[in-house]
């Protein structure tokens, strides 16, 4: 009778069983396929009633103020912030639908632009910052 040695039991496997790894990969794939469409949807909200309907913007409601390093230009005239505030307030009293377009030069500091926006906000005037379209 032949005697079996313990050496045969110490043989290492040179192959890795990838079946559990593939099962895990497929389960993760299925989870991502199911959950991805749910992440792309927005919330289903029932908004409350109220507020104002957006009004159409007409050309006579728009006033443009240019802001450069030299100051403010309104209707082709250079003016100070105080003068501009008085003119815009008078225009807003005459036309409550007034919208001020602000066109600022690239080299202009932000301070004059924000001062103008602050004045318009205090008066209740809507402001729109204008820019060049991207290429």
Q: What is the pLDDT along the chain (135 residues), one digit of tens a residue?
A: 555 555 556 666 677 788 888 999 999 999 988 887 766 555 454 555 665 555 677 888 889 898 888 889 888 888 999 999 999 999 999 998 899 988 888 788 889 999 999 999 999 998 988 777 666
Query: What's the maximum distance between 2 C-alpha atoms anywhere in the chain?
Result: 117
What local confidence, expressed as pLDDT, does residue 10 receive?
Answer: 62
What local confidence, expressed as pLDDT, does residue 43 receive?
Answer: 46
Using an 8 Å Cβ cutoff, are 120 and 88 in contact? yes
Domain boundaries, the chain: 15-40, 59-129
What local confidence, expressed as pLDDT, does residue 104 receive?
Answer: 85
What local confidence, expressed as pLDDT, does residue 122 receive?
Answer: 92
Give every CB contact of residue 61 below 8 A, 6+ residues apart in sequence.
95, 97, 98, 99
How far, in Å, CA of 66 to CA of 130, rounded?
A: 10
Residue 53 CB burial class (10 angstroms; 0-12, 13-18, ≥19) = exposed
What local confidence, expressed as pLDDT, does residue 70 receive?
Answer: 83
How far, in Å, CA of 62 to CA of 34, rounded?
A: 49
Q: Please give the CATH number for the structural domain made up of 59-129.
A: 3.30.420.270
What local confidence, expressed as pLDDT, does residue 36 receive?
Answer: 78
């Amino acid at each position: 009778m032949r005697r079996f040695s313990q050496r045969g039991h110490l043989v290492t496997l040179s192959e890795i069983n990838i079946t559990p790894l593939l099962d895990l990969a497929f389960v993760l794939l299925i989870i991502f396929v199911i959950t991805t469409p749910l992440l792309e949807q927005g919330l289903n909200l029932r908004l409350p009633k109220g507020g104002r309907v957006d009004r159409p913007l007409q050309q006579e409601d728009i006033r443009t103020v240019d802001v450069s390093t030299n100051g403010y230009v309104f209707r082709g005239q250079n003016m100070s912030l105080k003068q501009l505030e008085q003119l815009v307030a008078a225009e807003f009293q005459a036309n409550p639908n007034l919208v001020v377009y602000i066109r600022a030069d690239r080299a202009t500091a932000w301070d004059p632009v924000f001062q103008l926006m602050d004045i318009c906000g205090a008066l209740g005037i809507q402001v729109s910052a204008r820019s060049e379209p991207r290429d």
